[in-house]
Structure 1
């Protein structure tokens, strides 16, 4: 028998259930404890798993924090398409729905609040933004268009600001206006 650590097999239903349970517990704890307080010891105890199990799934806290936010509530995911306006609109609607979950929104706030002081939170936030940018570009592939990180920020920032900073509702009309401005031309 080898001494190297084995990574969990994601196709195993038991592994998937454990992972989902741990992420659900972490999502509940993060708003209460903050990223620094969400230790593997606390999470293992509350999720009724061993710390070894946590390290197998998430070798670093940055991995845990980013997966926690990337695997948020199931709110529907946009389909790839050749119409950039439609893809961008559906992307922002999906973003609005994901952050409509109070626990996810609180987790995002907690991670953002710690980025200046906690390297794991800063790394997690960077990973999340890069992942979402790449995912959006994947949806745009049928259109033949790919966007830069700056363009992605210009598209998503108004919605994120309204939801996370102002605390205002993001209406369909607001999303339509953001996409129109982002495209630089009305259709």
Structure 2
């Protein structure tokens, strides 16, 4: 861990979906994952919790992974959008703090962690995860850094992708291992990785 366009959504087949039912499915998948974990999550359980037919879900999504990806994309955009309008060092700091809160306290953060774990041993999940979520968000993050660099707000010594990996990697690692994410960790990462060298003591 996101060109400035919104993350690409996979086209869905079938009849036009009812928005209330669509949201019910996304919320049900989110809640059930938090309650029971990825392995126990089934289309049948999602259908029961959402109050929709299983066949309806299969018309809209081919798998539970695609349902979870829709949930993750929408919740990420709402909870910690990538700063794209004249980003500053402080807005990047806020973005990372928002990301840490998302992983630590938001049910949708568990979706992200579950998909990271599942992608390690399932190539199909890894492909969809990269194409639909990681790739588009990383493109937004690159643009954020490029704008901040151009404005003289930050001066990273690493390339953009390596900079973002170094910033988000420790946050994701601590979340995956169930360790708290102290605010001071993020502040230190910002100071070391993004502060222009002339501003270091």
TM-score, normalised to structure 2, is 0.69
Give me the whole-angstrom Cα distance separating, in 2, the residues matched to 1:118 and 1:141. 33
Give the gaps of 5 or more residues in structure 2: 1-12, 151-158
Distance in 1 separating the partners of 2:51 and 2:123: 27
Alpha-carbon distance in 2 for matches of 1:60, 1:161? 27
In structure 1, the residue matched to 2:48 is: 45
> Can you list the C-alpha shifts for 1:39-59, whole angstroms capped at 9, x where unaligned?
222211221112333234323
Report the equivalent of 1:155: 167
Check the 8 A contact 1:34/1:111 in 2, yes or no: no
Following superposition, the deviation at residue 103 of structure 1 comes to: 2.3
Q: Which gives a bigger RCO, structure 1 or 2 (Cα 8 Å, sep 6+)?
A: 2
Q: Cα distance, 1:178 vs. partner? A: 0.8
Out of 8, 12, 18, which is 2:16 matched to? Answer: 8
> Which structure 2 residues correspond to residues 83-162 of structure 1 after superposition, within 5 A?
83-126=87-130, 127-140=132-145, 142-143=147-148, 148-162=160-174
CA shift in 2, pair 1:143/1:48, >3 Å: same
- Contact 1:65 1:124 (C-alpha < 8 Å) held by counterparts: no
Aligned pair count? 176
**Cα separation, partners in 2 of 1:144 and 1:116, compared to 1, 3 Å:** closer
How far did residue 26 of structure 1 move? 0.7
Deviations 1:42-84 (A, max 9, x none): 2112211123332343234332222222233743535424344
Residue of structure 1 equivalent to 2:196: 185
RMSD over equivalenced CA pairs, Å: 3.0
